Structure 1
Amino acid sequence: MTLDDACWFGTGHSTLTDPAAAGAQAAQAAIAGRAPVVVFVFCSVGHHVPEMLDAVRERVAADTVIVGCTTSGQIATDEESRDGVAITAWGGPGLAVRTHVTRDASTGLREAGAQAASCLAGLDSEHRALLMLCDGLTGSQHEIIRGAYSVAGAAVPLVGGCAGDHLTYVRTYQFHGGRDGVEILSDAVIGVGVGSDAPLGVGIAHGWRKDGAAMIVTSSREGRIYELDGRPALDVLLERLGLDESLVDDEEAFRDAAFLHPLGLSRRSGEDIRVIHAGDRSDRSLICLADVPQGALAWMMVSDQDALVEGSNEACVQALDGLGGREALGVLVFDCAARRITLGEGGLDREIAGMTKTLNGAPYGGFYTNGEIARTRGALGMHHFTMVTLALGRS
């Protein structure tokens, strides 16, 4: 097999302040003159302009698919950044992608997920996965996953992440197109059907552990928790954490405190994490971005830098284990923006170094998300404070 006949996986990264220059630098490193099947473009808000995407389009093949979104930070092999552009590209025989974009997703989230999953139709590769990139501000993100699962079924793993804007919760953007043009969208769900002749592996891990007694979610709706153990949820949180009521009025300070103690929901496969983003003094509720089912058993969760880094490594190990002994061609990474904040600068360096070591030289790229998507056996699909990985096996 010649080099031109081999499958490949490339990553590139740039923190240049000029978006066009950053896009060109990252694309050149990732593509390196090859003909990609798909190019993933992940960038901070401010770099999401047509000029950046034009620089990427100039370097792809006529039939290359370009997809991506804005982030709360970028990841590329050996690097991470708050502001910039990260690009991951795949190519070669045995790799195939099909896409579908659902616009105005918030008008019907479950239907949006089902429509996005229609990209799997006609994808007859031996190994398949449904990768999803969603607007991170639609609310009730779990409904998108339920819709996608209704089409994909149990045999096709779901992976992906929700677009970010550095946790400002103002607006996120999604990208879709090719060499002839790339749309910049909001309120969209992009489905990417991934097909490969070699195995695909998925990893899901977080590094959090239970703290204190269990609680029952006695009143909730979608992502808002009204009562825990029959008491106002905000009161329970403030008491458990020893926080003063005045902290609720300082959105950033409250978020920083709450991020250190997310909520863990009991699942057969372990605890599923829900980030507490805000408290509402008017009705004493807690606000999350994903569903917290009424009647669920829940705990406050704690972690430390060592455990969070180990969670990242575990997600990589799980993805590699799914390759059936084959080497990894490369790995896509979807890491929670709240984990990024909690890890801090030194922890981020440790996370990246650990992933590089665990993946044994395989390239990797991705972004920090407003929600992580992973559904395999035993997983419900929508996650927070979690790292999700998708490994492509080498043919």
Structure 2
Amino acid sequence: MAVMEAAYCRTTGSEFHTTLREFDADPDIDGLLVLATPDDAFTPAAVDETLRRLSTPVFGGLFPKVIYDGAVRADGAVVAGLDVEPTVEPITTTDEPLEADADGDDETAFVFVDAYADAGDQFVQQLFNTYGVEYTYIGGGAGTFDGDRRHCLFTPEGLVGDAAVVAMVAAESTIGVEHGWTDIGGPFEITAADGRRLETLDGQPAYDRYAAIIDAETDRTVTTETFAEIATSHPFGISRLGAERIVRDPFAVDDDGSLQCFGDLPEGEFVHILQGDPETLVAAADRAHAAASEGAHTDSAMVTFDCLSRAQYLDADFDRELAALSQTANTIGALTIGEIANDGRGHLEYYNKTAVVGAIDGL
């Protein structure tokens, strides 16, 4: 099996378009994965014509930062050539079920979701309802961290937004998923929620309950001015029987005391308040890499998706986490707004603040 061929290019001028065309012309490349950072070079008007003219199926997304050659880059694109042809399917609605028409040999599905799509979690659920545990899934949430709504997903028909895109390939894979956050309080019942909007915890306004827990369990005081900073280091964790908690990142307070989060928080579920420590987070990233590497072929391609808010929390320590995620040469990836993965056995999840590493055979 061939190692995935990848290149990094700038988005200025024609360099990105030229790189795509060069990869497209290579007879040994049957699919194109594009991980890029958002800027004015990536609008439908700027790239759709190039994407539509490619003879090679293309998929991917725009992310706050990308990973290439052991470094995080904030202005450019990673273009990777696959030596297996992907089946690329945009998901633009949650009202109609997907048709399970993928190749029977497909084993791995790359999944990218517009992180600000109102139905982001439903896209992921729709995908799992169609294909179940038939696949190993890996991917993440695309877009800008400042909440700018834009077309952020690459497809053969051009850039799309408010959607998801899945690319299924005939390649075995192993996945490592770890977060390293620990409990400081809970469990607390989600007594009212609407998708990603957490309204009440234990019957109290979510902001009030959250602030009281932080005040009681830490030396910090939550106010509307300090909320964003404190929330970065104290996310929610949804309880899962026999598995790590599913981290949910609160990022804004509504006037009625509700909290906006990246990812759904279903009513009736129980959550804990979590805290981080650089040592436990870096150790978790190392475990994710080890889990993906275990049993993988020596020529497997390594792809990693790590949460941008996790990197922001780690700050100067993120270099250590990046080194843990990039132990294998030629690792590529992105800093995402939520991570998408399973382990080939359990339920597909849309995570926050989590490190995901995949060893993909035959790319």
Short-chain TM bin: 0.7 to 0.9
Say if 2:8 is the partner of 1:13.
Answer: yes
**1:88 and 2:80 matched:** yes
1:3 corresponds to which residue? none
1:370 is aligned to 337
Equivalent AA in structure 1 for residue 321 of structure 2? E
Change (3 A) 1:326 1:21: closer
**Following the alignment from structure 1 to structure 2, what is the Cα–Cα distance between the partners of residues 19 and 333?**
28
- Give TM-score scaled by structure 1 length: 0.80
Q: 1:34 to 1:318 in 2, by over 3 A?
A: farther
Question: Which residue of the partner structure matches residue 134 of structure 1?
Answer: 113
1:77 to 69, 83, 88: 69
Instruction: Please name the residue that 1:387 is paired with.
Output: 355
Scaled by the length of structure 2, the TM-score of the pair is 0.87
Aligned partners of 2:341 and 2:307: how far apart in 1? Answer: 13
Partner of 2:94: 109
Matched, 1:332 2:307: no
Say yes or no: does 1:99 pair with 2:88. Answer: yes
Equivalent AA in structure 1 for residue 169 of structure 2: V
Spell out the pairing of 1:214-253 with structure 2 (5 A cutoff): 214-242=187-215, 247-248=223-224, 250=225
Q: CA RMSD in A?
A: 2.9
2:326 to 348, 351, 356: 356
Equivalent residue in structure 2 for 1:121, among 101, 108, 123: 101
- Secondary structure of 1:331's aligned partner: strand
Aligned residue for 1:132, secondary structure, equals strand
How many residues align? The count is 356
CA deviation profile, 1:354-377 (whole Å, cap 9, x unmatched)? 2232x3x3x221212222111343
Over residues 197-245 of structure 1, what are the superposed CA-to-partner deviations in whole Å (9 max), with x where a residue is unaligned?
xx31122111211113422222222111122122211011222223666
The CA distance in 1 between the partners of 2:252 and 2:299, in whole Å, is 40
**8 Å CA contact retained: 2:120, 2:163:** no
> Which residue of structure 2 lines up, in the alignment, with residue 66 of structure 1?
58
Provide Cα deviations, 1:19-77, integer angstroms capped at 9, x if missing partner.
Answer: 5335657997x89966322211122211414798599879x9x6421212111111123
Give the deviation of 1:294 after TM superposition. Answer: 1.5
What corresponds to 2:143 in structure 1? 164
Moved over 4 A (4+): 22-28, 30-34, 49-58
Partner of 1:341: 312
C-alpha change, 1:122 and 1:226, in structure 2 (3 Å) is closer
In the alignment, the residues of structure 1 paired with residue 193 and residue 30 of structure 2 have an alpha-carbon distance, to the nearest angstrom, of 44
Instruction: Compare 82-91 and 263-272 and name the one that shifted more.
Output: 82-91
Distance change (3 Å), C-alpha of 1:289 and 1:347: same
Pair 1:144-2:123 in alignment? yes
Give the partner amino acid of 1:123. D
Query: CA contact under 8 A between 1:334 and 1:389: conserved in structure 2?
Result: yes
**Do structure 1's residue 304 and structure 2's residue 274 form an aligned pair?**
no
Of Structure 1 and Structure 2, the greater helix share is in: 1
Q: For 1:256-267, list aligned pairs within 5 A.
A: 256-267=229-240
User: 1:385: Cα distance to partner?
Assistant: 0.9
Tell me, yes or no, if the aligned pair for 2:139 and 2:340 is still in contact at 8 Å. Answer: yes
The question of whether the paired residues in 1 share the 8 Å contact of 2:57 and 2:85 is answered with: no
* Contact 1:74-1:81 at 8 Å conserved across structures: yes
Report the CA distance between 1:168 and its aligned residue. Answer: 2.9
The alignment partner of 1:277 has SS state of strand
Tell whether 2:160 aligns with 1:185. yes
